[in-house]
């Protein structure tokens, strides 16, 4: 019996490399934090009946996905990326943001307690050092704005020593949800078609792709070329991470 082929295919932007894993990957913040963010937003979207709330939670989920992609692929300074993400999620209502962050912190606290109870005898010194650093960051938020800026500037000077040649993946990848087809090097493919005169930043390249995708010239491209242009540079201003391809 022949299986029916899907009439609509969904191509979704993903990170192009798998994360390197630590010897104890289940306690790695790179695995825990994204999982906590996704799980809490999924729960909120599933449990709310308010459509306006659901849309704001969906927007937060897209913002977090874009943060993950940019962290791996965008050579912009990490401090700037953190600020861009903060500005993006500030567009939702404070009450919506507070609900998400409260639930996520509760989940992270439970995981923290679990792993600390397990490891405190062997890793006590390392855990104490991390807690001290976290406490200093929390105290910093209580300082006046001008004092914070002085400390952030000093911190940025230190970070730049390690951020001059950021290690990023320049290519990008898309996966089709229905067929599991993988498209790689989509940024290279998109660069052939976009006319770009900006500063080469992620934002300007995203704007160039968006402008081209909306132009009549985009209709002359193949499906793969259109998908590459649409998803090469997901940005907070246009947080689109999936495109649909139909038989038409």
pLDDT score, position 197: 72
pLDDT score, position 128: 60
Helix axes 202-213, 223-231, angle to 10 degrees: 140
Decide: 171 and 204 in contact? Cβ < 8 Å. Answer: no
Q: Mind listing the pLDDT tens digit of every residue in the chain (248 residues)?
A: 556 666 788 888 776 554 444 345 566 777 788 888 988 998 899 888 899 999 999 999 999 999 999 988 998 888 889 889 999 999 999 999 999 998 888 888 877 777 766 665 555 565 566 556 555 655 665 667 777 677 666 666 655 554 455 566 677 889 898 888 889 889 889 888 887 777 788 999 999 999 999 899 888 999 999 999 999 999 998 888 899 888 76
Q: CA distances (Å), 39 to each of 43, 86, 234, in order? A: 6, 20, 22
Extract the tokens encoding 61: 């989920």
Q: Under 8 Å CB-to-CB from 6, ≥6 apart: which residues?
A: 178, 179
Q: Give the residue among 227, 156, 170 at the shortest CA–CA distance from 200.
A: 170
SS3 48: coil
DSSP 78-117: HHHHHHHHHHHHTTS-HHHHHHHHHHHHHHHHHHHHHHHH
Please report how many Cα atoms fall inside a 13 Å half-sphere around the Cα of residue 159, on the Cβ side. Answer: 12
Cα(134)–Cα(138) distance, rounded to whole angstroms?
6
pLDDT score, position 144: 74
């Amino acid at each position: 019996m022949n299986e029916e082929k899907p009439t609509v295919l969904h191509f979704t932007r993903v990170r192009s490399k798998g994360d390197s894993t630590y010897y104890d990957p289940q306690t790695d913040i790179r695995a825990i934090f994204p999982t906590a963010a996704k799980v809490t937003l999924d729960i909120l979207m599933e449990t709310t009946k308010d459509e306006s709330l659901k849309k704001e939670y969906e927007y937060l989920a897209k913002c977090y996905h874009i943060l993950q992609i940019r962290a791996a692929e965008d050579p912009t300074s990490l401090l700037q990326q953190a600020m861009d993400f903060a500005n993006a999620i500030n567009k939702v209502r404070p009450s919506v943001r507070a609900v998400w962050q409260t639930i996520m912190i509760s989940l992270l606290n439970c995981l923290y307690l679990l792993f600390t109870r397990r490891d405190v005898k062997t890793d006590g010194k390392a855990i104490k050092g991390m807690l001290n650093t976290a406490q200093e960051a929390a105290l910093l938020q209580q300082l006046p704005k001008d004092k914070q800026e002085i400390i952030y500037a000093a911190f940025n000077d230190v970070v730049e020593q390690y951020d001059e040649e950021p290690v990023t993946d320049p290519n990008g990848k898309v996966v089709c949800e229905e067929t599991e087809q993988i498209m790689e090097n989509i940024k290279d493919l998109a660069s052939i078609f976009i006319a770009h005169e900006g500063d080469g930043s992620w934002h300007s390249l995203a704007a160039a792709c968006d402008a081209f995708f909306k132009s009549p010239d985009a209709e002359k491209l193949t499906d793969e070329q259109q998908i590459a242009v649409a998803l090469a540079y997901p940005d907070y201003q246009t947080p689109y991470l999936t495109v649909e391809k139909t038989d038409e």
